[in-house]
Amino acid sequence: MPHIDLPKDYPGIRSLFVFCHETAVPLCNLVQVLLHDPHPTLTAGERELIASYVSNLNTCKFCTATHSAIAKHQLGSELALVKQVLADPETAPISDKLKALLKIGAKVQLGGKNVTAQDVAIARGKGATDIEIHDTVLIAAAFCMYNRYVDGLATWQPDNEEFYDKMGAQRKREGYTPASINIKLDDQLRTS
């Protein structure tokens, strides 16, 4: 049961976006830039894996399921790969660079000061660029915030894998802009 009066027709973070349009717009725009817009080197699927992995470390069911489904669609329907990354990135069939970036993401999840110069040097040694390291830290930090937002207000979260799969396909196609997730001013339910 949500801690505040959220719209019942919207699960997870969408209910929060409908509840408060003023914060929904910048939060949607941030995730659009971080995960969906073109990136010089990291694919959308790799960035979604980082978001899903950090969400899983935070035990945020909604964000883990959502971003795992989006990663699956971004990576060519490879749900097994996503599950391997969530279980143990070190043994997953992903690049050494992505493994190093996921380690940095995990350190950020524990607290930003846990990222060391050695972590960054290892990532660079595996081919990571400064922009990839920067974006990994920002994705991990942002998803700690998104996870805590979703769980801190106890949003309702479906247990239906098909729901998340459909959402994953839609987000792959449409991205995260406020318009693409049907956030409109007239949907706003916030009261003063």
Q: What is the pLDDT of residues 51-109, one digit of tens each?
A: 999 999 999 999 999 999 999 999 998 889 999 999 999 999 999 999 999 999 999 99
| Inter-residue contact 66 to 12 (CB < 8 Å) | yes
Integer Cα distance of 162 and 123 in angstroms: 35
Confidence of residue 36 (pLDDT cuts 50, 70, 90): very high
Q: What would the mean pLDDT of 25-54 be, rounded to a whole number?
A: 96
Is 136 or 183 the better-scoring residue by pLDDT? 136
Using DSSP's 3-state secondary structure scheme, residue 98 falls into: helix
Sign of the C-alpha dihedral computed for residues 57, 35, 9 and 187 taken in this order = positive
Q: What angle do CA 65, 24, 16 make, to 5 degrees?
A: 55
pLDDT for position 187: 39
Token readout for 19 is: 């509840």
Confidence of residue 33 (pLDDT cuts 50, 70, 90): very high
- For the chain, give the number of residues: 192
pLDDT for position 30: 97
Query: Is residue 188 pLDDT above 60, yes or no?
Result: no
Domains recognised in the chain with CATH numbers: 12-181 (1.20.1290.10)
